[in-house]
């Protein structure tokens, strides 16, 4: 059996910065509330009319990751694209990325696992590489969320949190015994599917023709809904469980963690986990302060930044952990 390793990383965020004060001009919110509850100071939102899409941001991140991997695009064997904000309801953006990057007619798989999407994508890619089916797989997490948020006071509990951006990684067959993905662990609990969801376009019971005929301006089903406190309580439990699960599967201790990259859901969640695991500030990477919650893009953006800042070195034990809508949660333990 082969092993996989991350051979290239990249990210892209739109230039347009939206501060908490900017939001307070269009809805009843304020910098103090947002920072105290979430740690977020600002996020990036694509400018309306810029033409930027989930695919185009993914392409920009992917180009950097491929270049850093030292591979030519002809050497990429497969695409896994994670997003909750696809350009089209179908097909998913994997195929658009294949076209825009000018890749061969390789397979493109779309992953819909929300905030856990990137770790799910990594897990899938890892299995393909382990079996020897593929050698180099492009994994992308990209989100254009601002386009679908309720930017009024009605939607403030959700809309102040989310941001736009993309992150990408190339997963390649490992060439030495050190650097490799040690394990991935994936979970779901559909009982809580509606606690963090977008219900429209309502294939689960509502006919699109009826929705269109109603033309109801108060129809909130196209906007994200989140039962914030319930999600928060589940998140802290599942984050902890799935990190422990990964460590135990590899006979590792908490003290072996060199870098934890949690999905950037809320700085308070990251801080809770950090405290629970007794990790110091250098062992947990957070950038939600600047980018908000970018869902499937948050882990690859944070991982890329941590790596660019020299905070991850060869041989380090890096832990990725995610929790989100579904509910889904997941971890990956990587020997860098
Ligand atoms: O990434 C996927 C996973 N997501 C998560 O893990 C998110 C988990 N949940 C959270 O991060 C938090 O629950 C939130 C940040 C979403 C909300 O924080 P909270 O402390 O749970 O606030 P809350 O929803 O209980 O609302 C408290 C108050 C309410 O007012 P009343 O009823 O006490 O008068 C809200 O209406 O804060 C109000 N509120 C706001 N006020 C100012 C809600 N949103 C805002 C806002 N600005 N943006």
pLDDT tens sequence across 116-139? 999 999 999 999 999 999 999 999
Q: What residues pair up with 95 in beta bridges, in sequence order?
A: none
Residues 6+ apart with CB under 8 A from 83: 54, 58, 92, 93, 110, 111, 112, 117, 141, 142, 143, 295, 296
Please identify which of the residues 20, 136, 266, 293 carries the catalytic annotation. 293
pTM, entire model: 0.97
User: Pick the residue with more confidence: 205 or 52?
Assistant: 52
User: Pick the residue with more confidence: 211 or 189?
Assistant: 189
Please identify which of the residues 136, 263, 266, 286 carries the catalytic annotation. 263
What domains can be seen in the chain, in order of their start residue? Answer: 4-173 (3.40.47.10), 180-335 (3.40.47.10)
Ligand 1 binding pocket (C-beta < 6 A) is: 29, 33-34, 37-38, 115, 156-157, 160, 228-229, 231-232, 235, 265-266, 269, 293, 323-324
How many angstroms separate the alpha carbon of residue 33 from the centre of ligand 1?
A: 9
Residue 320, phi then psi, degrees to nearest 5: -105, 135
Give yes or no: 293 in active site.
yes
Percent of the chain with pLDDT over 70: 99
- Ligand 1, atom 1: closest residue by C-alpha: 265
CA-based R_g, the chain, Å: 19
- Ligand 1, atom 43: closest residue by C-alpha: 157
User: Pick the residue with more confidence: 39 or 202?
Assistant: 39
How many angstroms separate the alpha carbon of residue 158 from the centre of ligand 1?
A: 8
How many angstroms separate the alpha carbon of residue 228 from the centre of ligand 1?
A: 6
Taking residue 216's Cβ as centre, other Cβ atoms within 10 Å add up to 9
Residues 6+ apart with CB under 8 A from 104: 74, 76
pLDDT exceeds 80 at position 203: no
pLDDT score for 202: 67
How many angstroms separate the alpha carbon of residue 157 from the centre of ligand 1?
A: 5
């Amino acid at each position: 059996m082969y092993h996989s390793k991350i051979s290239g990383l990249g990210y892209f965020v739109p230039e347009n910065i939206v501060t908490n004060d900017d939001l307070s001009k269009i809805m009843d919110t304020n910098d103090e509330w947002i920072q105290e509850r979430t740690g977020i100071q600002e996020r990036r939102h694509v400018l309306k009319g810029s033409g930027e899409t989930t695919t185009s941001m993914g392409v920009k991140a992917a180009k950097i990751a491929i270049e850093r991997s030292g591979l030519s695009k002809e050497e990429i064997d497969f695409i896994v694209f994670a997003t909750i904000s696809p350009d089209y309801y179908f097909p998913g953006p994997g195929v658009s990325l294949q076209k825009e990057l000018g890749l061969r007619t390789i397979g493109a798989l779309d992953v819909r696992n929300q905030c856990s999407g990137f770790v799910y994508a990594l897990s899938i890619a890892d299995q393909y590489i382990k079996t020897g089916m593929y050698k180099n797989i492009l994994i992308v997490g990209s989100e254009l969320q601002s386009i679908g948020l309720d930017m009024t006071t009605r939607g403030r509990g959700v809309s102040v949190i989310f941001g736009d951006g993309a992150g990408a990684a190339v997963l390649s067959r490992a060439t030495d015994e050190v650097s490799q993905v040690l394990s991935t662990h994936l979970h779901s609990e559909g009982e809580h599917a509606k606690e963090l969801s977008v219900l429209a376009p309502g294939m689960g019971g509502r006919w699109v023709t009826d929705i269109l005929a109603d033309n109801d301006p108060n129809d909130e089903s196209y906007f994200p809904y989140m039962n914030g406190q319930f999600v928060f309580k589940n998140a802290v439990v599942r984050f902890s469980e799935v990190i422990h699960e990964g460590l135990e599967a590899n006979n590792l201790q908490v003290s072996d963690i060199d870098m934890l990259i949690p999905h950037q859901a809320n700085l308070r969640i990251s801080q809770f986990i950090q405290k629970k695991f007794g990790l110091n500030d250098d062992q947990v990477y957070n950038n939600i302060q600047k980018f908000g919650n970018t869902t499937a893009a948050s882990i690859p953006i944070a991982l890329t930044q941590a790596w660019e800042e020299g905070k991850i070195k060869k041989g380090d034990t890096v832990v990725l952990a995610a929790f989100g809508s579904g509910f889904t949660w997941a971890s990956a333990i990587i020997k860098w």
